[in-house]
Each structure stands twice: as C-alpha cells, then as structure tokens.
Amino acid sequence: MNIYVGNLDFSIKEDDLKNLFAEYGEVSSVKIITDKFSGRSKGFGFITMDDDSEGQAAVNELNGSEFKGRNMVVNEARPKKDDYNRR
C-alpha cells in the first residue's frame, strides 16, 4: 500500500516517519518530498507498506493524529494524474 502523509512539520526526517509507521508493520520505503532548488521539505511524503492490512491500520490510526505539533493527513495515495494542460 502506498500511503500519502501530509501536513508534516518541515523538520521531520524520513527516519522519524519510518519509526512512526513501523509501529503498525513493516515499512518498505519512505520519501519526504522536497523542493528541488532549496532542498527544504514541502510538508508531505509517501510511505510504502507491503502488507495492505498493516497499511490500512496505520491510515486508520494516524489520520488526524498529532505528530511533532501538527495534525497529520494520512490516506491511501492516489495514482499521479498526467496533466497535459500544464506543458
């Protein structure tokens, strides 16, 4: 399961998220999205958990929960849409 995590504090590191989600099962990957010029976090990222039931448990428990002073938005990630109008 690919999980979107938003409304993150800009100081959060990938290891912080991995440790948080690891309480619900095995985390395959963690990626915090950063600005390509400044390298600063954009305040959201993605978690991959191979076991869908563990991923769903993490989504259910963590969505809206407070982490480092901010209430996270956690849900199943939707596939990225191709937007041909932006070219």
CATH architecture of the domain with residue range 2-77:
2-Layer Sandwich (3.30)
8 Å CB contact between 19 and 40: no
List, for residues 5-47, the tens digit of each pLDDT value.
999 999 999 999 999 999 999 999 999 999 999 999 999 999 9
Q: Tell me the torsion sign for CA atoms 36, 39, 40, 44.
A: positive
* Domain spans in the chain, listed from the N-terminal domain onward: 2-77
pTM of model > 0.75: yes
